Amino acid sequence: MTSSSAPAPASQGAPQHLRPLRPLTARGRHEAHRVASPLELFFDLCFVVAISQAGGELMHAVAEGHAGQGVLNYAMLFFAIWWAWMNFSWFASAYDNDDALYRIVTLVQIAGVLVLAAGVSRGFADHDYTAVWLGYVIMRVAMAAQWLRAARSAEGPERRMALRYAGGVLLCQVGWAGLVLLPQGARGWLYLAMVILEMCVPLYAEREHTTSWHPHHIAERFGLFTIIVLGETIAAATVAVKSALAEHHALGELLPIAAGGLLIVFSAWWIYFVVPIHGHLRSNRQSFLWGYGHYVIFASAASIGAGLEVAVEQAVGAAHISAVAAAAAVTVPTALYLLTVWGLHSRYFKVGVAQQLVLPVTALLVLCCTFLGEWAVPAAGAVCALAVATGTTLTARTAAQGHLTEATPGVS
| Residues in the chain, overall count | 412
Domain boundaries, the chain: 34-205, 215-275+282-400
Q: Please compute the mean of the pLDDT values over residues 109-138 and round it to a whole number.
A: 91
Provide the residue type at 268 as one letter: A
Q: Please compute the mean of the pLDDT values over residues 45-73 and round it to a whole number.
A: 91
**From 72-76, 232-236, 398-402, the region with the lowest mean pLDDT:** 398-402
Contacts of 1 by beta carbon, 8 Å cutoff, 6+ apart: none
Say how many CA atoms lie within 13 Å of 323 toward its Cβ: 12
Contacts of 365 by beta carbon, 8 Å cutoff, 6+ apart: 383
Residue 153 has pLDDT above 60, yes or no: yes
Contacts of 258 by beta carbon, 8 Å cutoff, 6+ apart: 237, 241
Q: Which of 14-23, 141-150, 402-411 has the highest mean pLDDT?
A: 141-150
What's the fold here for domain 215-275+282-400?
A: I/LWEQ domain (1.20.1410)
Say how many CA atoms lie within 13 Å of 157 toward its Cβ: 7
What is the average pLDDT score of the chain? 86
Q: What is the pLDDT of residues 217-231, one digit of tens each?
A: 998 999 999 999 999
Note the pTM of the prediction, 2 decimals: 0.88
Q: What is the pLDDT of residues 317-372, one digit of tens each?
A: 888 899 999 999 999 999 999 999 998 887 777 777 888 888 999 999 999 999 99
Residue 404 has pLDDT above 70, yes or no: no
**From 257-266, 274-283, 368-377, the region with the lowest mean pLDDT:** 274-283
Residue 26 has pLDDT above 80, yes or no: yes
